[in-house]
Structures are given as C-alpha cells and as structure tokens.
Amino acid sequence: MASLVMSGTLVFCGLASNVEARTLRYAIGHPPSSSVVDVTKKYADEVEALSDSELSVRIFPMSLLNFAETSGGVRDGMADIGFVLTSYFPSEYPHSNMAVEASMLVGLLGEKAQGREGMIFMGALSEFTFFNCPECSQEFSAQNQVYTGSTGGTSYGLVCNEPVETEADLKGMRLRVGASNWSRWAESVGASPVTMSANEMFEALGQGVVSCIVLASPEIHNFGLTDVVTDINMDVPGGPMPIAGTNINADTWKSLSLEQREVMLRAASVFSAGVPWIYHQQEDRILSEAKQRGVAIHHADQALIDKTQAFIRDDMQHIAEGYRTRYGVENGEEMIANFQGLLEKWTDLVQNVETEQELADLYWEEIFSKVDVEKHGL
C-alpha cells in the first residue's frame, strides 16, 4: 500500500537501516473491531514502510487509554501518539474547537458536498489548523502535544430507540451529544442534550436513559450498538465529528529526526484520508443492513430541515460570541469566516476523488507536504 514519496529535499527511501527499530505506542478509545482501528493499522503499516522499519507503531485499542484519558495520556507520555477528541476538553483547546463546533456548516454546502462531507471537512480542518490557526498549535503545545492532522467520519444523524421525523417528535427527548453544537441544536428543537463518554452509549440507549444518540451511522457497528437501535434518521442534525487523530507527544516528536517527522506526517495524511473514506463507503451498507434487521429508517420533514439550516446560520454567531465570553477567543468571527472559505475550497477539491489513495495523495500534496518539519511543534 505504501509508496515512496519525495518532498523538498527529504526522501523517504534511504533512511538509516542500521539504527535499532523504535516502537511508538498509539492509544485509541475505539474497540478493536472498529473500522477506525482498521485505518489505524494502515497508518502503522505506512510508518513502518516509509521508515524502512526504523519506526513501528503498536496500537492499543480501548485499552491503554479511553477517549476521556487520551489527551492527558499523550501529554504525560503514557502514549506516544493518541486519538484526541478535543471537544471533550473545551477549556484546553478553545481555538481548535471553534472550527470543530462549526462542523454543521457542511449542511449548507449544497448538493456538491453530499456524500463527501467528511472528506471536505477533514481537508479543510487540517489545512486550517496547520496554517491558519497559530493559536491552535499553541494549545497543543501547552498540552505537550504536536498536531499532525485531523480526521473523522460522515455527518451525524439520529440513532434512536423511537422514531423521529418532526420537531414535535423531538420535544422532551433526551439526546446523547458529543459536542456543544449538537447540544445547542437539541435545545433549539425542544430536546434535552445529555453528555456522556462514547463508551457509555450502548447502555444508555439500551436502558432508555436516552432516546437517541447524535452519531454517524457507521458508529453503530464501531461501538456495537446494533442490538439497541430500532430507529434511524440521518437527515438531521448533520456535521461530522473531527478528531486530532494522530497527535504526538511533544517529547517524542522532538526526539525524531527530520526524515522521521516527515514519515509521521505522510502516514498521518493516509490516516486523515482513511477514516472519512471508509465511513463514506460504509454509510449506505450500514443503513441497508439495519433496515434488513427491521430497523426503521426515517426522514425529517421539510419543516425540521428548514429549522436545522436556520439554526446552523444563526449558530455561527453564537459560537463566536460564546468562545469570546468563555475562553477569551477574540477573533472568532474571522476564524469562522476563514474556515467557511476553506470548506468551499475543499468542496471543489474533492469532486474528482475516486479512491482512498487519491484522497490521501490530495491531502499530502495540498496540506501535509507543506508543513515545515524543522519548525512545526518546536
């Protein structure tokens, strides 16, 4: 799968072969059967191939650190690399989470974005974080981490134990949400948002603690929710959940040679592309299999869709004001406008992408290859 890549004066072939191999520990909160872990294995294979086995990655799925522990664990060196959900830590990553909370903007991109939302968003977010948000790099540095790209799946809908088609259906419902934007959307339609770890979703939905989970459909498989889901509506609220998927402990990063850092970035571009690609490939299959099991697939009425789109437009101002008030982010409006422009750019860039490798190559050429490994993270 791996291919030799040249960028500037660094060439991946020819890394020192007489150096003892080094193993990097990767912590991810997903279970071993998750398709995200499958992509992580590709990332590990890429690291080993591009470094001529000088580096290897050992994956710890849902064992070394859970989602809530990963940020601190990477910071403290319990893992060298981690799958960091910055939205779990709003005060630590306020500038980074500004763009994360704007994920529902993909719902306003029109037909060109449909079926490509994840690919668009992860490209835009990676470019934004590397090159347009110095405050983001400072936030990761404060947590003793180095950012090496964002990833995530498809747009989020409603995975439920009762039907939802209208705003009236949502009134009084308890919805598990994983980020503040979906929490605000839930409140706007009369539902009650509930925050809990992703690892608690099965029990919450199965026992009726919540009526729905705001989630991407492939996560039904990834988190083993098959037996507790009876109804699905993927029309609302929309927007993917982005993750800093390959954050590296800063001490580990500094100990790598320039060639090794570029290897890690090239592998990260593969990881960043792999998750949205596999989610988009799985989305229709997951919904079809659910329907065959007797799960009811619902669609939102036009009134609920219109209300959701109006909410998205209004919420951008709320995000900027909220981050200014709570976290002192003074340039929120400018950041969101900048990021919205990148979303439109990436909507055009991914139109002709037909394979996972093409998406990885696009990410590499447009974003990751342009990162200065002599300065980034230092």
- CATH number at 342 reads 3.40.190.170
How far apart, in whole angstroms, are the C-alpha atoms of residue 208 and residue 7? 53
19 pLDDT band (50/70/90 cuts)? Answer: low
For tokens 């747009």, what's the residue? 155
Quick check: pTM over 0.85? yes
Give yes or no: residues 247 and 213 share one domain. Answer: no
Domain assignment of residue 6, yes or no: no
Domain assignment of residue 208, yes or no: yes
Give yes or no: residues 194 and 336 share one domain. Answer: no
Domain assignment of residue 182, yes or no: yes
Domain assignment of residue 250, yes or no: yes
Helices 302-327, 94-101: axis angle to 10 degrees equals 170
Domain assignment of residue 7, yes or no: no
Element spanning 21, H or E: none
88 pLDDT band (50/70/90 cuts)? Answer: confident
| Whether 175 contacts 186, CB under 8 Å | yes
Number of domains in the chain: 2
DSSP 8-state secondary structure symbol assigned to residue 166: S
Domain assignment of residue 263, yes or no: yes
350 versus 196: which is more confidently predicted? 350
Domain assignment of residue 224, yes or no: yes
pLDDT in the model for residue 20: 73
Judged against a pLDDT cut of 80, whether residue 105 lies above it is answered with yes
What does the DSSP assignment read for 73-90? HHHTTS-SEEEE-GGG-T
Give yes or no: residues 134 and 262 share one domain. Answer: yes
Domain assignment of residue 189, yes or no: yes
Please list, residue by residue across 35-68, b when 16 or more beta carbons sit within 10 angstroms of its beta carbon and e when fewer do. bbbebbebbbbbbbbbbbebbebebbbbebbbbe
Give yes or no: residues 174 and 60 share one domain. Answer: no
pLDDT, tens digit (0-9, with 9 covering 90-100), for 320-338? 999 999 999 999 999 999 9
Give yes or no: residues 355 and 275 share one domain. Answer: yes
pLDDT in the model for residue 16: 42
Give yes or no: residues 89 and 102 share one domain. Answer: yes
Give yes or no: residues 229 and 269 share one domain. Answer: no
For tokens 């009084």, what's the residue? 172
Give yes or no: residues 229 and 252 share one domain. Answer: no
